Structure 1
């Protein structure tokens, strides 16, 4: 089968389209014929091996342990393991697994759910990581309640576009922060107010927010806290710093250490993609409350270009690879 493979860490130039062996489903696995795969920031981090913390977490010190990139996936079940009970060949599914930038990918049954009936494969592949991250940031760490004022920083990006829609579905009053090119998009997906960060600083406004969701930002904690109510909650999702050892994660660790000593709740998120959350997202999507926003699609051989485009920070919503 064809797959996007890397043998060493580096720029998108290390990603190569090659012929490799087709994976075999284990007893608890699905073998999926991939129709589409989502691109998210973790692809860049695993491709470059940066920050070095990524390597220390078990992804490979000198070279990546998993040589085929990609995690988000949507496709049809090709084969099932002996212990699989919820799926059979031919079922349309979406979820996560290692090595989704390929014609076939394999992963545990528990990491998949039936594809939302009203989505294309490309749309479904955009959902798992980014939508689960937004959901868990709002519901689990943010504990958002109806009527609360919520600020979404990075509202025009992959996680942000889901966060705006989910916060609205959960009854919040939503303000999105994004660049000029994305303001119309953020309004169109339901934001009550939009702040163009190139022209206005949300922290200088009189309004204070009950919950701030900061998606892969680099603003200081003091800056973010200025926009919070005295008992408000800040949830930091990722971070893009320049440090080669820890990247933007230092800000997260500082927030967790500071939180016990201030009235505001400062939290971080390391998201997962459990089947239960995929099923909840499917319900919201099929009810018309959430719709994936896709910026561009690329062919499998164009995967390096897809990663470059995502990394430049200008993607409006999600970037997806079609197979």
Structure 2
């Protein structure tokens, strides 16, 4: 065996030095085509995410479109105080949290269960047809979904046509505040669970079939194989997607909630995004609406950090997530 010289031993023991700025620039110049691929994504992020952050300064000003952002007078936290002390604050905040929380608790497991069921289908043709059917609702516009809900759940719609002979009177679902959350959440699960299951189906495709065969020979049932083989495979994906979903718990979609709103279900359907739209674009109170939106964004960041730390501790403790 060739013996290492003293210089070689010293080189082997010492840690490798970090690349210099010159070496990094040289690498970037040599592989500039790789950076060209990500340039559009960087530009879009800068234009639509970072540059608009300058406009959040009007949350601390009495914004006047004629004077502009720089010329408007500073008012400090006046708009935040006005929002936090308004009589609608708790109702709007609770509506947002409840709607987002229930959507997360009920909607997050749905694609996982769906992916586990799809994974049990062995015939490739049948599996493709099932996937095509459950993915299709994702490509239907939110406006179309909202229109379908109003038609199906109207007092003269097909749902009431089935219920009226049983209960005697038609039910006005879209005017009932108690029914709004169920309609919103269930329709969201129907529309998005199939498409969201793609990631989990892809993760399950990496499971070695020999593991299932060996477990079957050892007498493991279907549920035992899912618990001890499939779920551990999905665990990292579930953790990442749960962090992303829980981190945006306050960033609930505006369009669907606004489209399903009526004057009767407003006590349950008025959430922070719809409130910002009405105060900002409809009422023209841009500073107040920006303050509410900034409050929502800060709450999202806090929730993201909190959920991230919780999931990290669960992973260390070898929990489900």
TM-score of the alignment, normalized to the shorter chain, above 0.5: no
| TM-score scaled by length of structure 1 | 0.20
Q: Specify which structure has the higher proportion of strand.
A: 1
Greater Rg by CA: 2
Larger relative contact order (CA 8 Å, sep ≥ 6): 2
| TM-score scaled by length of structure 2 | 0.20
